[in-house]
Amino acid sequence: MPEDRRLRSQKAIKRSKRKATKAIAERGKEILYKGKTMEQLLSLDLQGLMNLIPARARRSLKRGYNIEQQRLHERLLEEDSVKTRVRDLIIIPQYVGKTVSVYNGHLYQTFTIKEEMIGHYLGEYSQTRKEVKHSGPGVGATRGSKFLPLK
């Protein structure tokens, strides 16, 4: 391994160190978020949580919730299952274990919020675009498809 380090650039070494120390680590069955257990996260106030989450989410929480986000926040704290069109709500530790149906423009996709989702947006887990599935070329699509062998 020491030979490897000499051959790699400093940038590659720093990148591998970053990957080794993930934001979310598993210790047995217990999941840690930036070194904090779920109980510690639940005991934090909003300001303490904002120091842990990524910059974009921190900035969004600092501005405060709009009316729709505030309503959904209150519903999530009260109910176990919620159906919503609000995609830009940031997941906080109090939402873990709740079932949410988020609209993706076509239908509602249901998922349960897990510890790994803290600091992300609800919309990230309700994809708006389908995966591209290509088949064979259509007749007339290209000049070469004109001569497809008949089976």
What is the reported pTM?
A: 0.69
Three-state DSSP class for 89? Answer: coil
Give the residues across from 84 on adjacent strands.
102
Q: Where are the domains of the chain?
A: 2-125
Class in CATH terms, 2-125 = alpha beta
The single-letter DSSP state of residue 28 is T
Measured CA to CA, the distance from residue 90 to residue 97 in angstroms comes to 15
pLDDT one digit per residue (tens) for the chain, 151 residues: 455 555 678 888 777 777 665 555 655 667 788 888 888 888 888 888 888 888 999 899 899 999 999 999 999 999 999 999 999 999 999 999 999 999 999 999 999 999 888 999 999 999 999 888 877 666 666 666 666 666 6
